[in-house]
Amino acid sequence: MALQALQSSGVAFRKILSHFPEELSLAFAYGSGVYRQVGPSSDQKNAMLDFVFTVDDPIAWHSKNLNKNWNHYSFLKVLGPKFITAVQNNYGAGVYYNPLITCDGRLIKYGVISTSILIEDLLNWNNLYIAGRLQKPVKIIAMNENVALRSALDNNLKSAVTTAFLMLPESFSEEDLFTEIAGLSYSGDFRMVIGEDKTKVLNIVKPNIAHFRELYDSTLQENPQVVYKAQQGRLEIDKSPEGQFTQLMTLPKTLQQQINHIMDPPGKNRDVEETLLQVAHDPDCGEVVRQGLAAIVRPSSMKQSTKGIFTAGMKKTVIYSSLKLHKMWKGWLRKTS
């Protein structure tokens, strides 16, 4: 993975990180507060900063964080770190968010996820939640020497490229590719109907083409299935059934299983490879892949949002939801004016 593209020496981010327990396998910042976006999220100076903290031992980490930052948590804090970790690991997308926290004069939101659960999501796309965040440019603030995690991060980028290829024509631009990649984790997300600006994906990609290019350059250069004309910003791929079958066979396991479920008629019980061979010959191959993505993202996004009511508390949930709706309203006004 192009780790150089993700590294950040931002003192402001490291100062915020100093307010939390140090035992992190990975910490990164993402979103409109980190990378400039167009549209209703363009006010980068006042945007909420979004963080994800990956920890090997969530119970120990939450125990220390409760001692340091008791007021960050909702009413669940009275039930202790074991209960918080159980909620984190077993519901939604395996991440526990504390939103609307004031830290060093900035409004922040931070999510906590187990290292092992993140690695599973990066490799298999069990819910494509934090894995989806890491398919877009982020600022890495801390990272240890976990070889399995680094390998999984690299595989996630390769899977994102392969999936996007299946939904694109034979020839396309870098912007086309990065728009497909940025949209993978929004496929079927109910928040794109209620609460998120409809042009969110384009608003992420357009001002950050250079960051996407840096993140995916080595992955594209090493991919034997693409002709990458970096100077012209164009790419060409093999759209033959054989080429598509090769791509389908390398998709993350959960996406393959969802495609199999969509395409397997009742009573047939075909194995995944047989189904993928059929899909490779289907003119609507890309649409089938998109449906498979939606089948992963839709339930995980709904469950994670429902979980947020409990992890954030009702008051913060109402405030946070109103901010999202205000952003969507601004986007709508911008398009109609």
Instruction: For residue range 189-210, list pLDDT tens digits in order.
Output: 655 554 445 578 888 999 999 9
pLDDT one-digit tens code per residue, 77-129? 999 999 999 999 999 899 999 999 999 889 999 999 999 999 999 999 999 99
10 Å CB burial of residue 62 (0-12, 13-18, 19+) is buried
pLDDT of residue 301: 84
Specify the 3-state DSSP secondary structure of 283.
Answer: coil
Percent of the chain with pLDDT over 70: 83
Q: Are 280 and 244 in contact (CB under 8 A)?
A: yes
What six digits make up the tokens of 265? Answer: 């008629």
Q: Which of 86, 133, 120, 116 is nearest to 25 (CA)?
A: 116
Residues 249-281: b if buried by 16+ CB within 10 A, e if exposed: eebbebbbbbbbeebbeeeeeeebeebbebbbe
Detail the DSSP E strand segments found in 254-307. none
* pTM score of the predicted model: 0.86
- Mean pLDDT over each residue of the chain, to the nearest integer: 87
Measured between alpha carbons, how far apart are the two ends of the chain, in Å?
42
Report how far residue 245's alpha carbon sits from residue 320's, in angstroms, rounded to the nearest whole number. 43
Please state the domain extents for the chain: 1-144, 147-298+322-330
Report how far residue 33's alpha carbon sits from residue 299's, in angstroms, rounded to the nearest whole number. 27
Contacts of 279 (CB under 8 A, 6+ apart): 244, 248, 259, 263, 285, 288, 289
Find the angle CA(159)-CA(164)-CA(167) to the nearest 5 degrees: 135
Top-level class of domain 1-144? alpha beta
